[in-house]
Amino acid sequence: MRIVSWNVNGIRAVEKKGFSDWLEGAEADIVGVQEVRAKATQFPPHLAEHPDWHLHVVEAERPGYSGVALFSKRPPDRVHESLDDPAHDAEGRLQIARYGRLVVANAYFPNGSGKNRDNSRVPFKLDFYRRLFDRVQRLRRGGARVLVMGDFNTAHREIDLARPKSNQKTSGFLPEEREALDRWIEAGWIDTFRRFEPGPDRYTWWSQRFGVRERNVGWRIDYVLASPNVKPFLRDAFIHAHVMGSDHCPIGVDLDPAVLD
């Protein structure tokens, strides 16, 4: 069973770059996309009405901004969209879908930079981290097998970005942001990719400046975190850096299908 996450940086833009072909060849059962920048009614009709995929979209109130969506071969048993906070909910950043005993949280964590790159949104970002952590911890305590996937907008360790020393004061690598991720790992959540690949130079996002991606000057800011009870079902985790179409690339995990039972 393959579950994939991808910040597409605009579903309409990525569709023009071959998203449908990628989706058909991804061999995935669930695909969570972030930063779709579209209302459900603005999704390309052949995606919205595809016979092989169930689509669930969470919209931002602001047009052309944020938003997440889940494509799944099997319709979810139920989906929750709220963090019980109007400011976060208005930005359309979360859907928590249950498939049997498996719960998949597809999340687009806020960027902390702010309009003037003054890190003014860091408190808002950290509040999102806290609220989502509390929500999935409750699910975990209730016996659910939980995956939290998406664009976390934070590189956790120095190994997770090409130039850590020059980004010490950049949102995405601030100490308080990294500590927010520490909290998850210290609570037992598994960074699935690092379970299989401990080495450097593996990134999921690159600046769109000329030549940056070609030189692999990137950041690993997209993750699939798994609750400890998913570990027996975890078979592989991957970063598909060769897939183009967005400034991010797809990531994901392969699981034993028994995780649903």
Catalytic residue numbers? Answer: 151
Residue 88's Cα: distance from chain center in Å? 16
Q: Select from 260, 12, 9 the least CA-distant residue to 147.
A: 260
- Cα separation, 234 vs 240, in Å, equals 18
Provide the total of helices (H) and of strands (E) in the chain, helices listed first.
7, 14
Task: Identify the burial level of 52 via C-beta atoms within 10 angstroms of its C-beta, where 0-12 means exposed, 13-18 middle and 19 or more buried.
Answer: exposed
Which neighbouring-strand residues pair with 236? 254
The total of other beta-carbon atoms located within 10 Å of residue 192's CB is 26
Helix, strand or coil, per DSSP, at residue 5: strand
Q: What is the DSSP track for 106-126?
A: EEEPPPSSTTTTSSTTHHHHH
Q: Select from 33, 23, 27, 35 the least CA-distant residue to 56.
A: 33
